[in-house]
Structure 1
Amino acid sequence: MKTVITFGTFDVLHIGHINILQRAKSQGDRLIVGISSDALNFAKKNRYPVYPEQERKAIIASIGCVDEVFIEESLELKAEYIKKYAAHTLVMGNDWEGKFDNYKTICEVVYLPRTENISTTQIITQIRKYA
């Protein structure tokens, strides 16, 4: 059985999230998703997610192609997460192209194209504009 792992915040779920998760699952038999903790998201983006981590975890877990979800506490632990879940493949969006190549010694690394013209930041900006 080939296990695939991916990571993200997955805040304000949109079609881009669904597309990347379905395409990630197509890379193997089992899909494990690491959801950025609220604290990690704040450290990365200087803002907390709209939805708290436990709600984002439940939302992503409810998607049919996702087999397991965990909270990612630290970017520095990616290698440990890959090993813990015995992942054969790490899948990330191509906006991260090259940034995860250092994990090629422990698993295959695949960068998939993002869905064009959609992002969580764009959606949040649009909502604020009309609020």
Structure 2
Amino acid sequence: MLRKLLVVLAALATTLGLMVPTAGSASALGGEWLGCWATPGDESGYSSECWGGATGGYVRVDFVVQDETAPSTYSWSVPAAYQSKITSGCSSTQHLCSLTVPAASHQISVSVTLTQGGTTATHTAVAYIDRSCGWWC
């Protein structure tokens, strides 16, 4: 009887041992996205598409990684025509990229590739700047 009990206990211990969850390597990539916001312009917050404009002067466009759950390295892709318009960020250690552009018609598509532990994901956002819409884009 004792022998049967030991066999049952051994089987139970083995079964329970297999059911113990183990910590695997976690990658936080998957929920992030790239948002943009133009000022003056859209007042609704970050979106994958943003609108801005002014009848004169300049428009600031911020591209910011959203919903990031772990630190990443960043590789920003800004069109050549807008490289000189970068006012902050856009580096491998910063989750934002800010541009200041003249109040004129622009369509600016910016991408960022995030890297976490060897896993990468690329996200894109587009800013539409239109001088004719003034402050009311």
Higher relative strand content: 2
TM-score, normalisation: structure 1: 0.29
Greater helix fraction, Structure 1 or Structure 2: 1
If the length of structure 2 is used for normalisation, what is the TM-score?
Answer: 0.28
Greater gyration radius = 2
